[in-house]
Amino acid sequence: MASATLSHPPTGSSRFVRILLWVMAVLLMAAAVVYQRTTGPTYPKKGNLVADGQTLLYRLVRSHNSDMDAPVVLPGAPGLSATLHYKRFRMDEPYTPLVMTPEEGNLVARLPRQPAAGKLEYYLEVTGADVSRIPADGEENIVIRYKDPVPAAVLIPHIFMMFFAVLIGMRTGLAAILAPDTMRRTAWITLIGLTIGGMMLGPLVQKYAFGVFWAGFPYDSDLTDNKMLIMWLSWVFACAIIGSKPKPREAVNRVVVLVAMVVMTAVYLIPHSMRGSELDYKKLEEGVAPHEAIGTSKHG
């Protein structure tokens, strides 16, 4: 049934079908964004803790700029106190305790600033009638990564163009199934969006944040850069195959566009910033300059 549909595409698309495609694309994009924000290693760690009969909803920082200390905020509750324990990530050293102090109804401690790509590992002990731990015993500690500030004039267009390109790409893949007469134009728009947002502005963001324009293939194994490269190449290939004008036999073109959309979506769902830039503190202690001691994490 699917092959028959691909072999005999409709000659036109109704307004209803086009609206339906946009609704489906927006819902798919929204689901992907939610998944990203709940799985990415740099998004805040959310959870709740029940202590002394009180439920604390927390949102703990996992990414921060390198030009200031990072505030760790725990909602305050009567009769409770808390201590933050931290150390440099992947370093065999004791944890440093910081007593969290009341600020505007919350308990707050500040992790010391680190060079770009530096990471700290930390956990909290909340004390009331009993002592509770965040994260719970047996769970991995929270890791925060620092980055140099990225100008809004670079970061905002990058984020906008990436969301725009992925949304249009999803709409294009859906059009290959239901309304192929619209897929060619939006496929090229997708490629242009990925080129500007990912392959031009993306390296600028990387340069500002971690000191290098590109840390993916063939120079290193940064997963975010490699994700971008795969998404971009999938649409380069698709657009090269479909060209700029409809062809008598569109089945292959529709399949190619659909595959590009599936590849893009699958790659996009890989959590953002996994296996990203990471400062090697051992090299730093050997006297290597901070920007030269940055490599790519091999563990997440």
d(CA 169, CA 267): 13
Residue 188 CA to its chain's centroid (Å): 24
Question: What are the pLDDT digits (tens) for 132-155?
Answer: 999 988 899 999 999 999 999 999
Question: What are the pLDDT digits (tens) for 185-199?
Answer: 999 999 999 999 999
d(CA 88, CA 118): 8
Instruction: For residue 177, give both structure tokens.
Output: 């199934």
β partners of residue 111? 70
Mean per-residue pLDDT pooled into runs of 10, the chain (300 residues)? 41 73 93 82 88 87 96 88 96 96 92 96 91 90 96 96 95 91 93 96 95 87 89 96 83 94 92 78 90 75
d(CA 263, CA 180): 19
Which domains, from first to last, does the chain contain? 2-39+150-269 (no CATH), 45-147 (2.60.40.10)
d(CA 214, CA 221): 10
pTM of the model: 0.83
Question: What are the pLDDT digits (tens) for 212-260?
Answer: 998 888 888 788 899 999 999 999 999 999 998 887 778 899 999 999 9
